[in-house]
Structure 1
Amino acid sequence: MPTPLFRVALLLLLLTGCRAAPPIPQSPDLEVEKLLQRLRAAPDDGLATYELAARYAVLGEKEQALRWLERLESLRWSFALGDPHFGALAQTPEYRAVAARLAGLQPHVARSRPAFTLSEKALTPEGITYDAVTDTFFVSSIRKRKVVAMARNGQLRDFTASGQDGLLGVLGMKVDAARRHLWVASYASRGMENARPEERGHSGLFQYDLRSGVLLRKFPLGNQPRANLLNDIALSASGDVFVTNSERGTVSVLRTGTEALALLMPEGTLPYPNGIALSEDGARLYVAHAHGIASVDTSTGQHTPVQAPPGVLLAGLDGLSAYRGSLIGIQNGFGRGRIVRFHFGADPTRVERAEILESGNPLFDIPTTGTVVGNTFVYIANSQLRRRGPQGELLPPEQLDETVLLQVELGE
């Protein structure tokens, strides 16, 4: 089936003077073979090329990894490499040379300015949400297993204590301003303090009273028959709660008036769903996953892929926010991260153009999520998610940086 496409793509590469793709053999490694299949169908797939180079690096196949990184360069890939994806290879001079050339292709856009700095270094923050009623930001902590609240003047306090109510590592959150609730997604991360092996694969959805901080309801999920990872949250005007389950490849929903999470779509529908945003008319969910963005009917779970013009990559997104006929995403899945805005036209399932809001910022250390506040997007610039010791251990606070929140004006 892919042979005609491969021949056409190869001819185009030769005509445009690009370096031809390396031969695509079969591989005994299942992950490698899946990526090779994608490249047989679409030789110019930069994301698959990046992932393949990283996989070869993990397998210790240095020459193959470098070969596919050079292929990435010939495709004019505009995302600087994320060194942790390439393991020990990242320390070699050959890798450093190609990484420097690829970094030179990354656009540098500097539009952000400082918003807040969190003095507590060992948070490993992941999620952020905003309560317009009290002008308060809430930031989640994976490492400390808690939620902190921050006033506009930067004053910080614990909204929950570490591990309170059985909190695991805390990820996405959403404020229900009308009902005065805070919804929190939590999962058993090995990067959280006091992690126990028996907790692996456990997750939960927590509902708190915004005024008192008291737990109202808790929806725990175990690790049977499969692991769970509730990741990010969207809320409807009627109070329905939608949450991505990254490990199970689906979106779950807690309908108003019900007492149990239900699947909105079958398990395995999406590859690692992550960021989620509700369209402004409430008709569809936009769900970021490993390979792009899905538009999901909030009632039926039926979904279609969001389309984009050539050269606009919708993959690798973490946080996702809707704003005035556009989506703002933090693209951190395959490089050093950037903030991008996808503009829609009349068709809410087709991106017309992409606008880079921030790229190449030296503060970036895996930016994760953000929240829209008026006409401003406030986001976590340096989650430090991969700041670990050589054995995967948590680093002491003195080896971490203060968490920086940046803000970028969105305009019309």
Structure 2
Amino acid sequence: MHEDTRASDDQAFINSQKHRHGAATAYQNGDREKALELLILADKIRPNNPAVMGNILFISLETGATKTAKAIAEKYATLGMIPPQRLLTQLYDGIPETDRRAFEKAYTAINAQIGTAEIEYAVPDSLKLIEGIAYHPNNQTFYVSSVVSKGIYKIENDQVSPLIEGDEHQYGSFFGLDIDPENTFLYATFATIDHTPNMNGKPKRTGVLKIDIDSEKIIQTWTLNDSANSQVADLVITNNGQIFLSNSQGKAVYEIKGDQLVKRFKHSGFMSPQGLAKTNDGNLILADYGRGLWHLDTSTQNITLIETSENLSLIGLDGLKASSNRLVATQNGIQPARVIEIELDTNSKKVVSSTIIAKNLAAFDEPTLFDIHNNTVFMIANSQWPKYQKGGILKDKQVQKPTYILKMKLK
């Protein structure tokens, strides 16, 4: 496992994190000005991070640094993002009327809907916090995974039936799903997290299941040894049958080798590995919620942070798939959430272009994972993550609604 990313990227990340931690300490000690100074340095070193930008906006408004607040608000607009609502209210209260109107106009434009999609199916509201989806093209069947209901469910002929029932197992919650190229086996990642209900006193496990699609029986289970500090999040199956898994808490990527989960990629700069996609040349692209995209060379084990433009933020990427010569990703870590297409250069080391293909669709709240078949995206549009708290309990005044599977044609 080699860390072959550009040295300047590594050092920028280290320095930025150092300034962020320093800012947190300064703020806790009551030194708002020092905290703001360090956050501005962090943003300059490693720009376009929504968390850093939000903290700058918060403290600049708190300290009356209106010029800095306006500059960050303009940066949000340039990146096609909107500050969180609580910060937006503070911003409008802390700037002149003419500036407020200008930002309202800019953010209204950013909030406009882009793209169209059809509702393919509404998963009943009795199934809670749906995260993952896989589509079986031969029999036109969907499989969806649940975090709170703790099951995997089959949707066939507009009927839902359990493949794995919630409390009948000790796997916890289910996340990423994928079907092998022969359409024979369904693979599902599992883990126990804070949102998993009724797991007190039970050992934490995380790994992946192999399920025979015809018999609907579990064929094999792979579990990480260090499950207490890990969460296997998503997976990808390559055309030659290799299976790679992301470990969001353990900050690594594993491969299934026989009966073992073998660590293939580990990097000190990984923050929260999520979706995985395969490239045409047999390598991998990893979506990192806190960093953007990484190129993982399966032959050399080299790891490279993919370069982006100054007016693009790839923070908050979740689901990731390859389609033809492009990547498709859900980006739910920024506002408004969106689905984007990303074109990389011939070496898959630099973003050539990024296009929003879906944003603010009527069904959206927090889109998560998706599957692609015949240039058609099938997506979990409203996972409803923000409604839930620890233990899989709905927050006050929140109501679980049906979860929509959206169907969207790629151009």
SS at match of 2:346: coil
Structure 1 segment 79-158 matched on structure 2, within 5 A: 79-83=81-85, 89=86, 93-94=89-90, 103-106=107-110, 107-151=112-156, 153-158=157-162
Give the CA deviation at 1:49. 5.0
- Counterpart in the other structure of 1:11: none
What do the CA deviations read for 1:270-316 (whole angstroms, capped 9, x no partner)? 111111111134x2111000211001012342111222333232221
Structure 1 counterpart SS, 2:356: strand
- Judging changes above 3 Å, is the alpha-carbon distance between structure 1 residues 132 and 24 closer, same or farther for their aligned structure 2 residues? closer
Deviation at 1:397, TM superposition (A): 11
Q: d(CA) in 2 for partners of 1:390 and 1:240?
A: 35
8 A contact 1:365–1:384 mirrored in 2: yes
1:193 pairs with 194, 197, 207, which one?
197
Corresponding position: 1:47 with 2:42? no
Residue 73 of structure 1 deviates from its aligned partner by 1.2
Q: Which has the higher contact order (CA 8 A, sep 6+)?
A: 2
One-letter identity of the residue aligned with 1:189:
I
Counterpart Cα distance in 2 of 1:253 and 1:284:
13
| In the alignment, structure 1 residue 261 sits paired with structure 2 residue 261 | yes
List aligned pairs for 1:199-218, cutoff 5 A.
199=203, 202-218=205-221
Conserved in 2, the CA contact under 8 Å of 1:251 and 1:264? Answer: yes
- In structure 2, distance between residues paired with 1:163 and 1:369: 23
Distance 1:35 1:131 in 2: 51
User: Letter of the aligned partner of 2:240 in structure 1?
Assistant: S
Q: Structure 1 residues 34 and 174, CA, compared in 2 at 3 Å: closer, same or farther?
A: farther
What's the secondary structure of 1:311's corresponding residue? coil
TM-score (norm 2): 0.80
Aligned counterpart for 1:248 among listed residues 244, 247, 250: 250
**Structure 1 Cα separation of the partners of residues 26 and 109 of structure 2:** 31
Shift of 1:31: 11
> Is the counterpart of residue 173 in structure 1 residue 177 in structure 2?
yes
Contact 2:39-2:56 at 8 Å conserved across structures: no
Cα displacement string for residues 111-134 of structure 1 (whole angstroms, at most 9, x for unaligned residues): 222222112344201111111222
TM-score in terms of structure 1 length: 0.79
Preserved contact between residue 367 and residue 381 of structure 2 (Cα < 8 Å): yes
Q: What is the match of residue 402 of structure 1?
A: 402
Identical columns (%): 19
Paired amino acid for 1:167: Y
CA contact (8 A) 2:178 2:237 kept: yes
Q: 1:54 to 1:221 in 2, by over 3 A?
A: farther
Is 1:318 matched up with 2:322?
no
- Supply the AA of the counterpart residue of 1:148: Y
The equivalent of 1:63 in structure 2 is 62
Amino acid at match of 1:220: T
Match of 1:292 in 2: 292
- 5+ residue gaps in structure 2? 1-7, 9-18, 29-33, 94-99
Judge which range, 316-325 or 396-405, deviates more: 396-405
Once residues 351 and 336 of structure 2 are traced to their aligned partners in structure 1, the CA distance between those partners, rounded to angstroms, is 23
Q: Report Cα offsets for 1:135-187 as digits up to 9, x if no partner.
A: 21111100111111112x42221111114442211110111141611111111
Which amino acid in the other structure matches residue 309 of structure 2? P
Counterpart position of 1:20: none
Q: Report the Cα offset of residue 265 of structure 1.
A: 1.9
Shift of 1:42: 4.9
Matching of residue 365 in structure 1 with residue 361 in structure 2: no
Q: Which amino acid aligns with 2:286?
A: V
Deviations 1:337-359 (A, max 9, x none): 10100123433222221111111
Q: Distance in 2 between matches of 1:61 and 1:249?
A: 33
